[in-house]
A and B are shown apart, each in its own frame.
Chain A
Amino acid sequence: MRFSVPLSVLLHGGAVMAMVYAGPMSPRESLYVPPVPIELITEAELAELLSVPETVKAPEPDPAPEPEPVVPEDPLPEPDPLPDVVPTEAPVPPPTPAPPPEESEEVAPEPDPAPEPAPEPTPALEPEPVARPKPPETLDLAALESALKDLNPDAAQTRAPTVISEGAAQADRNQARIGEGGELTIREEDLFRARMYECWNPDLGVPGATDLVVEVNILLNRDGTLIGAPEVVNNDQINRSGNSYWRAARSRALTAVEKCAPYDFLDPSRYNNWREITFNFNPEEY
């Protein structure tokens, strides 16, 4: 009881202080202000505003089904193609393991600080580069071929043949087919799933989330690093659908595959079995 008076003083004082600092409980009595307009700068305008001129590239036949704004595409003049910009349809990576993408990334800055008038190979303003396969960097036969294929999206997905290392080819010829080439053990599948669980971040709140299946095909080096860019097997289907959620899902699947690399948890002696994998991203209902 004898503490009640000081306690009361303390509590009341605290309450008064709180009221002073918290301020009056009424909203700011401001008047309604209608929204001030905001001006969207068009792609073309912005392109002009950019301080760095775009490198102009020789016109290349690009009869892609999706009409893109007429802007030069990703004019990176690269002397040697990096593994991560190798066109999907690129011919045959060498049988020896390509340098891991991480390392080559570090080498990449090389073309950047060119002291030329066109210093920065800025990628062109592309509204939705996700919406289509990576454009080939140079005008070559492979590019032409892939462009032609785009004209016929229903054609079966073909992929440039990959040279198998000699040993693998031999093994295929000499050994019994059972258990050889392209069969994973349950454990290997589980390892892939566990790894992918960490890397894949599906957005389950979009409409029809469980229908937005994305198939991604990857080629692996013996050390588990990716050979080239992952290929979206149902790319044409996604493009044709015009479904922006599906395109976002594709983007997330590709990120997952890149993020999970290197796939260094696999037994190199079974390289034949896991050097090419197709992931079928197919989210469950939440």
Chain B
Amino acid sequence: MLKRYIYLQTISLFIISFLALSPSGVSITTVQAQEVPRIDITRGRSEPMPIAIPDFIAATARTETLSTQITDVIEANLERSGLFRPINEQAFIQKELQSINVKPRFVDWRQINATVLVAGEVTEQPDGRVQVAVRLWDVFGNQQLGTIAFKTPQDNWRRAAHKVSDFVYSALTGETGYFDTRIVYVGETGPRDDRTKRLMIMDQDGANPSILTDGLNYDVLTPRFSPTRQQITYLALFDDRPAQVYLFNIETGEQEALGVYRGMTFAPRFTPDGDNVLLSVEENGNADVARMNLRTRRMQKLTSHPAIDTSPSMSPAGDQITFASDRGGSQQIYVMNQDGSNQRRITFGDGVYGTPVWSPRGDMIAFTRQYKSRFYIGVVRPDGTGERLLTESYLDEGPTWSPNGRVLMFFREDRPGGPVSLYSIDLTGQNLRAVPTATEASDPAWSPTLN
């Protein structure tokens, strides 16, 4: 009996100690978990992300040509953004992807440091169109990031390539892409003293340039895209009468003056809803900011100051307007509520500030600044903090935002009398690029994303 009691005691002791032991292990880890060393990582090497884009898989000779063209356009798009570095296909270890539906050999892509892999396929459809299907692979996470597919007529392959570029860009940056967009600009030809200025349009990558206005008896300046329609507003500059703001329908080519005034109207820009145009109205030598409703054609003055108020641009939320005014001496940037109330100055630097443009993203206002006969393009937060200059040259003017608010395009004349041409730069001040055009070019206007 006693023996048995001792025996039981021993067993229970054993069990208790066993139980005690294992939770104690757990409790130690819990204690440790609270003490896990934290390392603040505040700096990384911000550089273009290495991306592998093998030629899309194609079954027929025709789709093979198409697939090469499509991948070239995608590579060029992503490379130009400055955020990606397409890896030369010579370096690829996995040479052939059999199907986009098979997991790639991640090790092979990891070895060449590709962060992501874009695997695509071009197939002909029974109706003669082509289908472009794409999978995006996270090489280090060994998983799929997303997939997308389009059907389109064969000769519309460029747009399909832009759409795929937008998809990749958006999956990897978190913002919408801007590759399926167009640029309107003023094409300039002829000698300095007798320039012909025509309205041109091209794809964002410079492809498909075409003429929008030709043989006009006036010059076209400061074109601005409607955010919602295939419509442009611009300034028509006449030899014999005051300049007027015009509306232009891209699809029909129809043009019309936006109201008729004794004075001059200028510096037009659509509101984000596309229903109004903000502009400057000059009367008796004084310019004020006004809003014109495109439906009712009613004009409402928003400022009434004896100084010159111009270059209005509305915030994407539609609640505020930024404009330039010289009411404080030199011209500076101001912000006011959309009804004209609460006008306040946000820049205080030396020199002259002009052409404020509210970012479609809302977080920044781009501007040009002139100081000691140099021009700069910069950005500032709507509350006036965080002013940064991104570019500098003899003449930098006319900033226009990509529809996602990440890139600015502008025009530059880098020496007195030198040619004018288009440039783009990333919001971070990196990646300054010349935008090639067939003629000299000025006043770029970025379209919204096409549908």
Does B bind A? yes
Question: A: which residues have CB within 8 A of B?
Answer: 25-41, 43, 45-46, 49-52, 74, 84-85, 102, 105-106, 109, 112, 120-123, 125-130, 134, 159, 161-164, 169, 172-173, 181-184, 189, 192-193, 196-208, 215, 217, 243-249, 251, 254-256, 258-259, 273-274, 276-284, 286
Known: A38-B156, A203-B83, A248-B172. A127 touches B39 (CB 8 A): no
CA gap between A235 and B385 in the complex, in Å:
31
Q: Is the CB of B43 within 8 A of A197?
A: yes
Known: A201-B47, A246-B174. A279 touches B143 (CB 8 A): no
CA gap between A37 and B160 in the complex, in Å:
10
Known: A38-B150, A51-B99, A202-B44. A249 touches B251 (CB 8 A): no
CA gap between A63 and B142 in the complex, in Å:
24
| Central interface residue in A36, A162, A251, by most chain B CB within 10 Å | A251
Q: Is the CB of A277 within 8 A of B36?
A: yes
Q: Is the CB of A273 within 8 A of B44?
A: no
Interface pick from B23-31, B262-270, B286-294: B23-31
Q: Is the CB of A207 within 8 A of B115?
A: no
Q: Is the CB of A197 within 8 A of B174?
A: no
CA gap between A172 and B427 in the complex, in Å:
51
The residues of B that contact A169 with a CB separation of less than 8 Å are: 25, 28
Known: A201-B49, A245-B174. A182 touches B28 (CB 8 A): no
Residue in B37, B145, B150, B438 whose beta carbon sits within 8 Å of that of A41 in the complex: B150
A–B pairs, 11, beta carbons within 8 Å: A26-B439, A33-B210, A46-B147, A128-B146, A196-B41, A202-B44, A203-B83, A203-B173, A255-B140, A277-B39, A280-B41
Q: Is the CB of A161 within 8 A of B30?
A: yes
Q: Is the CB of B144 within 8 A of A281?
A: no
Q: Is the CB of B251 within 8 A of A26?
A: no
| Central interface residue in B26, B43, B150, B406, by most chain A CB within 10 Å | B43
The residues of B that contact A84 with a CB separation of less than 8 Å are: 142
CA gap between A183 and B438 in the complex, in Å:
63
Residue in B32, B103, B361 whose beta carbon sits within 8 Å of that of A276 in the complex: B32
Q: Is the CB of A202 within 8 A of B46?
A: yes
Residue in B41, B43, B102, B173 whose beta carbon sits within 8 Å of that of A248 in the complex: B173
Residue in B83, B138, B428 whose beta carbon sits within 8 Å of that of A286 in the complex: B428
* B187 contacts partner chain A, Cβ-Cβ < 8 Å: yes
The residues of A that contact B439 with a CB separation of less than 8 Å are: 25-27
The residues of A that contact B451 with a CB separation of less than 8 Å are: 37
Which residues of chain B from 395 to 436 have any CB-CB distance to chain A below 8 Å in the complex? 405-406, 426-429
The residues of B that contact A43 with a CB separation of less than 8 Å are: 147
User: CB-nearest residue of chain A relative to B182?
Assistant: A35
Known: A106-B107, A182-B36, A248-B172. A26 touches B41 (CB 8 A): no
Q: Is the CB of A201 within 8 A of B46?
A: yes
CB of A85 to closest CB in B, whole Å? 7
CA gap between A46 and B132 in the complex, in Å:
11
The residues of A that contact B304 with a CB separation of less than 8 Å are: none
Residue in B26, B152, B426 whose beta carbon sits within 8 Å of that of A39 in the complex: B152
CA gap between A210 and B415 in the complex, in Å:
38
Q: Is the CB of A206 within 8 A of B173?
A: yes
The residues of B that contact A182 with a CB separation of less than 8 Å are: 32, 35-37
User: CB-nearest residue of chain A relative to B406?
Assistant: A205
Q: Is the CB of B152 within 8 A of A25?
A: no
| Central interface residue in B41, B110, B160, by most chain A CB within 10 Å | B41
CB of A98 to closest CB in B, whole Å? 16
Q: Is the CB of B200 within 8 A of A27?
A: yes
| Central interface residue in A37, A126, A205, by most chain B CB within 10 Å | A205
Q: Is the CB of A122 within 8 A of B101?
A: yes
* B212 contacts partner chain A, Cβ-Cβ < 8 Å: yes
The residues of B that contact A39 with a CB separation of less than 8 Å are: 150-152
Interface size class of B (residues with CB under 8 A): 35 or more
The residues of B that contact A249 with a CB separation of less than 8 Å are: 174
Which residues of chain B from 154 to 196 have any CB-CB distance to chain A below 8 Å in the complex? 156, 159-160, 163, 170-175, 182, 187, 189
Which residues of chain B from 95 to 140 have any CB-CB distance to chain A below 8 Å in the complex? 99, 101-103, 105-107, 110, 115, 131, 133, 138, 140
The residues of B that contact A105 with a CB separation of less than 8 Å are: 106-107, 110, 142
Q: Is the CB of A282 within 8 A of B152?
A: no
CA gap between A215 and B438 in the complex, in Å:
49
Q: Is the CB of A112 within 8 A of B438?
A: no
Residue in A49, A112, A259 whose beta carbon sits within 8 Å of that of B133 in the complex: A49
Known: A32-B212, A84-B142, A122-B101. A38 touches B159 (CB 8 A): yes
Q: Is the CB of A28 within 8 A of B36?
A: no
The residues of A that contact B212 with a CB separation of less than 8 Å are: 32
* B250 contacts partner chain A, Cβ-Cβ < 8 Å: yes
* B216 contacts partner chain A, Cβ-Cβ < 8 Å: no
The residues of B that contact A109 with a CB separation of less than 8 Å are: 105
CB of B123 to closest CB in A, whole Å? 9
* B230 contacts partner chain A, Cβ-Cβ < 8 Å: yes
The residues of A that contact B450 with a CB separation of less than 8 Å are: 35
The residues of B that contact A197 with a CB separation of less than 8 Å are: 41, 43-45
The residues of A that contact B115 with a CB separation of less than 8 Å are: 201, 255, 259
Known: A30-B209, A41-B149, A85-B142. A280 touches B25 (CB 8 A): no
CA gap between A196 and B251 in the complex, in Å:
52
The residues of B that contact A172 with a CB separation of less than 8 Å are: 28, 32
User: CB-nearest residue of chain A relative to B140?
Assistant: A258
Q: Is the CB of A52 within 8 A of B101?
A: yes
CA gap between A120 and B152 in the complex, in Å:
28
Q: Is the CB of B36 within 8 A of A204?
A: no
Residue in B46, B361, B438 whose beta carbon sits within 8 Å of that of A207 in the complex: B361
4 further interface pairs, Cβ-Cβ under 8 Å (given A34-B230, A74-B143, A120-B103): A33-B208, A38-B151, A248-B174, A255-B115
Q: Is the CB of B35 within 8 A of A181?
A: yes
User: CB-nearest residue of chain B relative to A160?
Assistant: B29
CA gap between A52 and B138 in the complex, in Å:
21
CB of B252 to closest CB in A, whole Å? 10
* B42 contacts partner chain A, Cβ-Cβ < 8 Å: yes
Q: Is the CB of A278 within 8 A of B174?
A: no
